[in-house]
Amino acid sequence: MLLFLAGIAVLIAGYFTYGKLVEKVLGPDDRETPAVKKPDGVDFVVLPHWKNMLIQLLNIAGVGPVIGVILGIKFGSIVFIILPIGNLIAGATHDMIAGMMSLRKDGANLTTLVQDNLGKVYYNIFSWFMVVLLLLVVAVFVNIPASLVDAMTKSDCFWYAVVAITIYYVAAAMFPVDKIIGRIYPVFGGLLIVSSIAIFGALLIAGIKDPSIMQEGFAFKLAKFTAEKNQPILPMLFVTIACGIISGFHATQSPIVARTMLTERQARSTFYGMMVAEGIIGMIWAGAGMAIYNMYPHYMMLAPAKVLGYITEHFLGSVAGNITIAGVIVLAITSGDTALRSTRMALAEMLHIDQKPVRNRLILCCVMLLLVAVLLYWSNKDAKSFNILWNYFSWGNQVLAVTTLLSGAVYLAQKGWWRLIALVPGAFMLFIVACYILWISPDHGGPAGFGLELNTAYVLSVIIAAATSVAVWIHGDKLAKK
């Protein structure tokens, strides 16, 4: 219990210390923001600061800090250490840099920022990679909430839920940001916060009564993830728990809020602060996962979405539990809708399509949804298909994080050694994504990869990360001199 509470305390303290340092390096000031400089009534609209904070939180807090950590806590209590430290040094820093770069570039999407900092060649590859990844995100965030609705209602309504969710996604992606997202997100944000507080309170009471439920019990240790079970902490922990530690998907969401901010001085609370808040949510659900696995060790063999239902029912009862699951469904939906919106915005930038006419927005949304429908049909055929989709989505998500951090390192090159706040976590995450794809294979319990031995993958990944870091440093110096 002490390790769990200490992790939450570290997150809160880190916002006021390391977060302040990151803010000082990036230097938000009183220059005009994109929403003030070029309002268009669709994407560039000034919204109140408290709304922007809730929108950012719901944009970034998908099912990762709930479903992901319920799965990820199987690595053991080390999660209570890695999650808060990784969140502060990597994840929240990543989100702050992405948001500030977008603010300083007239609300540009990640693809434009990558082109400016990493060059045209990398941009040509990365831009389409990002679009494909965002389509995977939309498919995942239609599948999961529809499945949860189906399970919660105990009725065969999966495809009806898919249709309803898809209709909402189109509306949220097409309409001006203040008409749907700006109005309903505060309500959804309240539901998320209340649900998390309820679980935290119940968990504290249970932990005080029996502190052993927050420690690795004998049965837990027998079933926990280990390298011998094809689940080495490096790289698997950082791919499994993406959203609580670091998530590249967030860099695609930050421009949405960068286009609705009144002043740059709101950046730390909006970008860095909301990632810290997501980390706290992740810690709460990781603690709940640890507790339920210790009380009912056989649950460790179940899918995390099913365990979620058992957690809420055990700690809150059936009625409050269903309300909490509804909150998790909201998490997925409020990431899926803005993922579709981000894809529309990115494609519009890449293809130079004006987004003021409704017709142009509708055409882009329809084309994207056709591709999502194919992915959704395939992924819903069986559990294996969905697992493949989830694995590639998780890995691609961290490739996005690497790209954002390396772009940030180049962007910060003019500040000399301070670029290390982006380059160090970027190099580490490059090691993670390289190691994963070099090591993973069906023989190692995952999708197709190169299937190398783990130690070989480690050595090659260190070389790749070191060489890339040197190249990024030199490239940043060249741009800084210009």
What is the per-residue pLDDT across 203-219, written as a single tens digit (0 to 9) for each? Answer: 999 999 999 999 999 99
Q: Which residue range is the domain that position 89 belongs to? A: 2-398
| Weakest mean pLDDT among 10-24, 33-47, 279-293, 380-394 | 380-394
Q: Assess contact for 149 and 157: CB atoms under 8 A.
A: yes
pLDDT value of residue 49: 95
Residue 112 is encoded by which pair of tokens? 């434009």
User: Helices marked H in 210-248 — which ranges?
Assistant: 218-223, 233-240, 242-245
Residue 93 lies in a domain: yes
CATH code, 366: 1.20.1740.10
Cα–Cα dist 37/259, whole Å: 10
Residue 229: which pLDDT band, with cuts at 50, 70 and 90?
Answer: very high
What's the pLDDT tens digit per position in 28-81?
Answer: 999 999 999 998 888 899 999 998 998 888 878 767 788 889 999 999 999 999
Cα angle 338, 339, 341; round to 5: 60
Mean pLDDT score of the chain:
88
Cα–Cα dist 226/34, whole Å: 48
Residue 393 lies in a domain: yes
Give CA torsion, residues 49, 51, 52, 58, to 10 deg.
150
Residue 409 lies in a domain: no
Selection from 334, 381, 329, 268 nearest residue 67 by Cα? 329
Residue 24 lies in a domain: yes
pLDDT value of residue 476: 96
Q: Assess contact for 244 and 69: CB atoms under 8 A.
A: yes
Query: How many structural domains comprise the chain?
Result: 1
Residue 236 lies in a domain: yes
User: Cβ–Cβ contacts within 10 Å for residue 314, how many?
Assistant: 17
pLDDT value of residue 383: 57
pLDDT value of residue 142: 83
Residue 119 lies in a domain: yes
Residue 312 is encoded by which pair of tokens? 């809420």
Question: Is residue 385's pLDDT more than 70?
Answer: no
Residue 331 lies in a domain: yes
Residue 352 lies in a domain: yes
pTM: 0.89
Cα–Cα dist 205/178, whole Å: 40
